[in-house]
Structure 1
């Protein structure tokens, strides 16, 4: 078994921003502060076929070839596919079990990019969106976080759609308070939102009629909680949430202003660069911003 000094896992990485994140991790690793020997990146996706296709695309990427960063071209980085569906507990458990066996020394980087953005608004759509974007990301994060080595990075790709400007003062304050309390406090707000939508009263309850936006507010909030908890434990792990910006991908139905590579900049910076030990932040355009 080849040993790699550095190991990363990127979820939802067969296309769009996720694929660009893997590509830019490979490109930027040689010049990064984390650079030390072989680098293994797990590109994960729900479909084995699409995942294998994505790895093949990257292995033949002209820029990666020219930069000679991949192991096949004499570089340090190997990109490999592993199946992961964050909406299924068994899939998350299988993935983390595999990583524990393969990498008993732990991981260096986890970037949670997987998520869904469904069209329309209904109780069922909200349920599915919150289940995947909030609960799925939370479960994947909680399973993979203990595996991060000292000096490791965890980045959750959230969204400005989850900005707190869209809520009543009461809900906004509840989110801010929950982000300084614990995960159950954040989960309680998610459940409150789902119930309000089921009753057709989310507006009266102080929420926007937008499942994606609220799921991402929850993701940012729990990221802040976990950063606080890890700091209290004295673990040297940097945990941040970020917004990639409005990126032209399938998720935005081609309506974005940024390219996937531009969208990958902030998550890749948070994974590889010296960010001065900052943790628990919400970032956009390579800067920490107000949530």
Structure 2
């Protein structure tokens, strides 16, 4: 079947990612981008969990009541595809599938996949930066050429990425960064400082997740600048979903996953006045 719109959500088998998929299907009929059938890729590392999430959505009472899915006469179809953003081969395999299945391109990617580990040491920092910063950006670079003109790229960041807990020098480096390389140099300095046990002396907080998200916010802005300079019309933004009650927050959040999905869904399928390079 031919689809008018195609979107991808990473890390979508639970929590905010799953809620984003649900809200995309619910909100698409009233979206200014609605111009016919809509295919949503629910991606996840684990096949059994991804397929279980897909089954849950097909039985979801909210979606059934709204007649949002194609099976109930609606516009949206949701399909599962395996994707582990930390596995280069997995990313390339999925990108190749998108190229073959959607030769004219896709409309958006929402990068929700990420990790928050317990503890703090050089291994935790290396693993956290590897997923939340380096792998997310590598996925961005792989998927960007597949996104249609005027499409969207949305990176899930966090208010934990606030610059309030850094030294003036590090904060100014973040604020003055113009390129991805500028931001990556800060991430490398952080990892090196942690390795030496001197991150606080170097002006960083002892928090791998927070620094990874500060990096993602800065690099998303830099990526938007670079793409705009190349003449690209893809809108590239980052956002904080809020403090959401999920496994990642160990149930400590104050928002529901559906409330957390509000901003990323807006950035993907609603009118954002052409804004790009913004942290929402």
Tell me, yes or no, whether TM beats 0.5: yes
1:113-144: per-residue Cα shift (whole Å, max 9, x none)?
Answer: 00000011011011000000001100111100
Matches within 5 A, 1:206-217: 206-217=203-214
- Structure 1 residue 88: Cα displacement: 1.2
Q: Which residue of 2 aligns with 1:286?
A: none
Normalising by structure 1, what TM-score?
0.95
Cα distance in 2, alignment partners of residues 107 and 189 from structure 1: 32
Aligned-partner Cα distance in 2 for 1:94–1:191: 29
Paired residue for 2:191, among 190, 194, 205?
A: 194
Match of 2:243 in 1: 246
Q: Which residue number corresponds to residue 174 of structure 2? A: 175
Stretches of structure 1 lacking an aligned partner (at least 5 in a row): 284-291
1:287 maps to none
TM-score (norm 2): 0.99
How far off is 1:91 after superposition? 1.1
Q: Does 1:264 align with 2:261?
A: yes
Aligned to 2:49: 50
Aligned residues: 280
Partner of 1:94: 93
Indicate the residue corresponding to 2:84 in structure 1: 85
Q: Distance in 1 between matches of 2:122 and 2:5?
A: 42
CA displacement, residues 213-262 of structure 1 (integer Å, 9 cap, x when unaligned):
00001111110011111211222111110000000000000000000000
- Within 1, Cα distance between the matches of 2:4 and 2:188? 41
Counterpart residue number, 2:123: 124
TM superposition shift of 1:69: 1.1
Deviation above 3 Å: which 4+ runs of structure 1?
A: none
After superposition, residues 27-42 of structure 1 pair within 5 angstroms as 27-42=26-41
- TM-superposed deviation, 1:15: 0.2
SS in 2 for 1:110: strand
Tell me the distance in 1 between the aligned counterparts of 2:279 and 2:97. 30
Which runs of 5 or more residues in structure 2 are unaligned?
none
Cα RMSD (Å) of the superposition?
A: 0.7
Asked if 1:274 is matched to 2:271, the reply is yes
Q: Indicate the SS of the match to 2:39.
A: strand
2:226 alignment counterpart? 229
**Equivalence for 1:113:** 112
Could you tell me which residue of structure 2 aligns to residue 67 of structure 1? Answer: 66
Look up the SS of the partner of 2:238 in the other structure: strand
Deviations 1:8-34 (A, max 9, x none): 000000000000000000000010011
